[in-house]
Structure 1
């Protein structure tokens, strides 16, 4: 009797397996049919992003659904940014959605621009498109929308340190913003300097500024002006952090004549 029960169970499992195999082979392949259509933002969109209103609404990206024939499945959408005129050779996915719109706050849109490699304080022309996919990684069926070119001026998502002084091109009147390396967390700039002096300060304000009391490349809060005695073009690197990085100790700087 036990042998008969085992035989019946084995036959049942075999038939179920065959049914599943048939079901898998009977599935219609997913075929790209209609591409998504980006509606907004369009070529008229331009925005200067500001940290003061980071939480405010910025824009909603809106597109028409893509269409696929075959077995019904979820369609996923990605918003892609790339440098204008590059034909999306190296796009960056800045957001995703399973619906046909995506809202951005000022901070989110700013981060999208920075993630795609566009510099702060400069207006950049950015090609934007929608990518739709169905399926899994390796078998996804992509479709691409039309594209528009928008213009964004992002702000840095890191503290805004600058250099100011009589040795700099703008003197003591205004700051020259330092660039920031996300990997090393080091601020840097290559710039011409004349005989004179300079200091580092935060957010174009004297509330937080660093100088060098001993002229030993170690910075002190509200320290002395840093002298420049040899004019030329310098690569300046600054570590405002609390750990050594890129060979620079915390609260220290280097100046290399180019």
Structure 2
């Protein structure tokens, strides 16, 4: 009986040991230091530079393992101080060096959590693995650098006011014509007083950011100091709003939109007016259209029953250009037509056959 007990005990111990070994992950070897970039290196990413130029080259000492094997390296970044809780991989290689260009590195950095045009600290490390799940990955030493990323999104201003409850985060936006420009414009339903508000460094709109109002003369002059007057739309309506924060000017022009063309019941002689919905911030219309082939025929959108401001679709890609080509109608029928001017400088439309 004593021998049987010892045999069972030995068998149970072996079973536990084998079971533990099946799940045991070991790491054998060593990993050294990152060689480049240097600790504290400063990188300012430039949106005007050739985006295929190299932004950063990371190099490191080889990792070693107890047996000769192929090693895969992954360069990882994370916002400094986060202990790589959410690492972003910027590339993989079997060598001990990796380079990435401006465009890709800027994307990785903003994905990691740094804000455009704001200097931020970034940690870099290298992970090595040999493709064996029983061997834990090894990590190099860490270096911290400083990076200023950018965005090429069009700069924006918010237009909070009486028309939407003075709530900056939900306010309609204006957009500049290009990165680095200050000539903002967009379409806004206005009803009473309003202001212009810049985003903070993270891109968020809220009170406390720089804002602009009227200088008190109601002549289209902006000021950005305490005590400025609110701008005021005395007649509620849909407006083309412009503001230039360098020239300190602004303007509003009430616009009513319609469609015109030989695909409509009234041809090229008159517009059929569209209706603005403040809830969706879109104009819409249900109308019978006849098949017409662009670019010589079809429909266009125009403002205030005139040709000074009209939108077409050059390239038939669903995006609109001022003075663009006529929009063809492929099939006769009853259509729901929408015009979306709520995304400044990126205007779209839709034609849905009912």
TM-score where L is the length of structure 1: 0.57
Select the structure of larger CA radius of gyration: 2
SS class of match (2:140): strand
Structure 1 residues not aligned, in runs of 5+: 1-28, 169-188, 228-237, 244-248, 254-258
Tell me by how many angstroms 1:210 deviates: 2.5
Tell me by how many angstroms 1:155 deviates: 0.7
Report Cα offsets for 1:185-209 as digits up to 9, x if no partner: xxxx749x9xxxx8431323266x4
| Alpha carbons 2:128, 2:138 under 8 Å: kept | yes
SS class of match (1:33): coil
* Partner of residue 159 from structure 1, selected from 122, 130, 153: 153
| Alpha carbons 1:94, 1:116 under 8 Å: kept | no
Question: Aligned equivalents of 1:250 and 1:73: distance in 2?
Answer: 58
- Which residue is equivalent to 1:203? 179
Deviates more, 1:87-96 or 1:41-50: 87-96
Question: Aligned equivalents of 1:126 and 1:68: distance in 2?
Answer: 29
- Which residue is equivalent to 1:146? 141
- Which residue is equivalent to 1:76? 72
Larger RCO, structures 1/2 (Cα 8 Å, 6+ apart): 1
Tell me by how many angstroms 1:50 deviates: 0.9
Structure 2 residues not aligned, in runs of 5+: 1-24, 162-167, 191-235, 244-249, 254-280, 283-317, 320-338, 344-354
Query: In structure 2, do the counterparts of structure 1 residues 160 and 142 end up closer, same or farther at CA, with 3 Å as the change threshold?
Result: same
Question: Aligned equivalents of 1:78 and 1:219: distance in 2?
Answer: 52
> Counterparts of 1:84-123 in structure 2 under 5 Å?
84-123=80-119
Residue 53 of structure 2 is aligned to residue 39 of structure 1: no
SS class of match (1:146): coil
Question: Aligned equivalents of 1:88 and 1:79: distance in 2?
Answer: 12
TM-score where L is the length of structure 2: 0.43
Question: Aligned equivalents of 1:73 and 1:30: distance in 2?
Answer: 15
Query: In structure 2, do the counterparts of structure 1 residues 92 and 206 end up closer, same or farther at CA, with 3 Å as the change threshold?
Result: closer
Report Cα offsets for 1:120-161 as digits up to 9, x if no partner: 11111011111101124x4453000100110000012x5232
Tell me by how many angstroms 1:30 deviates: 8.1
Query: In structure 2, do the counterparts of structure 1 residues 219 and 74 end up closer, same or farther at CA, with 3 Å as the change threshold?
Result: farther
